[in-house]
Amino acid sequence: MHCFNTFLARKYNVNVSIFITEFNQCIGLMDGCSIFEDALVIDDDVYVRSKDLLEVFPYFTVDQMRTIVSRCLTEGLLKSGFFTESKFDRTKWIALSDKAEEELRFSS
């Protein structure tokens, strides 16, 4: 069952709130979440491949997930990077930003 943070829902929208709330919950339960099998930990931030997010959020379409991630990046709730050594591998990795963690703490 997924839940969402009403503060984030009012500030951004319900889909962003569901995504940020659940993504944060998954980070806390890394062992039980398959998308973290290949996660990267860089400076205490846990990065996952953006393409793996649909495993956690199967009810979002690819376009919806792309829109949610884009909005979160624009709002500063996520940070992203390309961390592979190959020039040809453009896998985007994302992690919660400090702003998202702060807003989750503030609203709880």
Question: What are the pLDDT digits (tens) for 15-73?
Answer: 999 999 988 887 776 655 666 677 777 888 888 888 888 888 889 999 999 999 999 99
Which pLDDT does position 14 carry in this prediction? Answer: 94
Residue spans of the domains in the chain: they are: 6-107
Q: What is the pTM of this model?
A: 0.83
Contacts 24+ apart (CB under 8 A), 78-82: 79/45, 80/50, 81/47
Within 10 A of 83 (CB to CB), how many other CB atoms are there? 13
Phi, psi dihedral angles at 49 (to 5 degrees): -70, 130
Which pLDDT does position 11 carry in this prediction? Answer: 93
Which pLDDT does position 83 carry in this prediction? Answer: 77
Which pLDDT does position 74 carry in this prediction? Answer: 96
Closest CA to 95 of 83, 85, 106: 83
- How far apart CA 32 and CA 104 sit, in angstroms, is 21
DSSP character string of 19-79: HHHHHHHHHHTGGG-GGGTT-EEETTEEEEEGGGHHHH-TTS-HHHHHHHHHHHHHHTSEE
Query: For tokens 């998954």, what's the residue?
Result: 26
Q: What is the CATH number of domain 6-107?
A: 1.10.10.10
